[in-house]
Amino acid sequence: MTTKFHPGRDALRVALAAGAVLFLAACVSETGPTSETTGTIGDGNVPQPRSATYACETGGSIRVEAGRGAVRLTNTEGEVFELMAAPPNQNTRFGQSGMALVVEGGEALWMHAGKEPLTCRR
């Protein structure tokens, strides 16, 4: 099956999906320490290491390195993205223009404008 790429429409879909995920994720209460105190990312119940590799369901992988209020994501192609906590002062949701990463419970959801969202597991 061939899917035709529509730059404007597809970018809008990804942006809306990322915005919805970030909005809904912001409504979830957090428990446990934050990256500000532990240097790790996680949902409070399943702490994650400072650096972790996630195998993606479509093949390939992403590497996520936690920092203070940000993460560095490296994809299979070697592209590196610096994503800030969104909103600040939390440790599971990160993003910048056209990109979003949600990391919880050993899973990472990576959304990048113009590409299919990836669900990856540690």
pLDDT digits (tens, 9 = 90+) for 22-70: 443 443 333 333 333 344 555 545 556 789 999 999 899 999 999 989 9
- For residue 49, the model assigns a pLDDT of 74
Domain ranges of the chain: 7-121
Q: In this structure, which long-range contacts are made by residues 28-37, counting pairs with CB atoms below 8 Å and at least 24 apart in sequence?
A: 30/90, 30/91, 30/92, 34/89, 34/90, 34/91, 35/66, 35/67, 35/68, 35/69, 35/85, 35/91, 36/68, 36/69, 36/89, 36/91
Distance CA 71, CA 13 (A): 24
pLDDT at site 45: 52
Q: What is the pLDDT of residue 57?
A: 93
Q: What is the pTM of this model?
A: 0.64
pLDDT at 46: 53
